[in-house]
Amino acid sequence: METQSAVRIIQCCDGLAQIAMAAFHPLQTFARPLTSAPMPLEPLWTGSELLRKLLDDFLNGKLETKTFCGDVIVAYNEAIDDAALTPVEQSIFGALFNEVAWYSPFAEERRETPNYKSEEQIRAAAVRTADKLKSA
């Protein structure tokens, strides 16, 4: 059986966004005694690494559009300090953020508000972002 992995941003109770790698296996259950101390989560990726990982996972089909958009928004706004990105990365990822922030899965909503973006438009923005990063 195949194990799938995906990057997810989870919101911790102290308000800090942390990154965790989750492995999912259909027949495997993970249990931890209730008396054990909580495990601290350390980010697996920081700065542009995180945004690049989210982009790569989305383009390779590991993340759905809604998840990708939500995670990019949280990562760009909360998890990554602007100083962790180069000026070129700030421009490239800023443009991606401006696209994913307008994602809507609802066609009627997109018809009523032209700023909203479809899944196809988000995928096109992700491809453009990846191309720009390769040439940067």
CB 68 within 8 A of CB 123: no
Neighbours of 81 (CB within 10 A): 9
Q: Which CATH class is domain 4-135?
A: mainly alpha
Q: Which two tokens stand for residue 72?
A: 């990019």
**In 3-103, alpha helices (H):** 47-59, 65-74, 87-100
pTM above 0.85, yes or no: no
Under DSSP, the state recorded for 22 is E
Domain coordinates of the chain in residue numbers?
A: 4-135
Could you list the pLDDT tens digit for every one of the 136 residues in the chain? 444 444 444 444 344 444 443 433 333 344 444 455 555 555 666 778 999 999 999 999 999 999 999 999 999 998 888 888 999 999 999 999 999 999 999 999 999 999 999 999 999 999 999 999 999 8
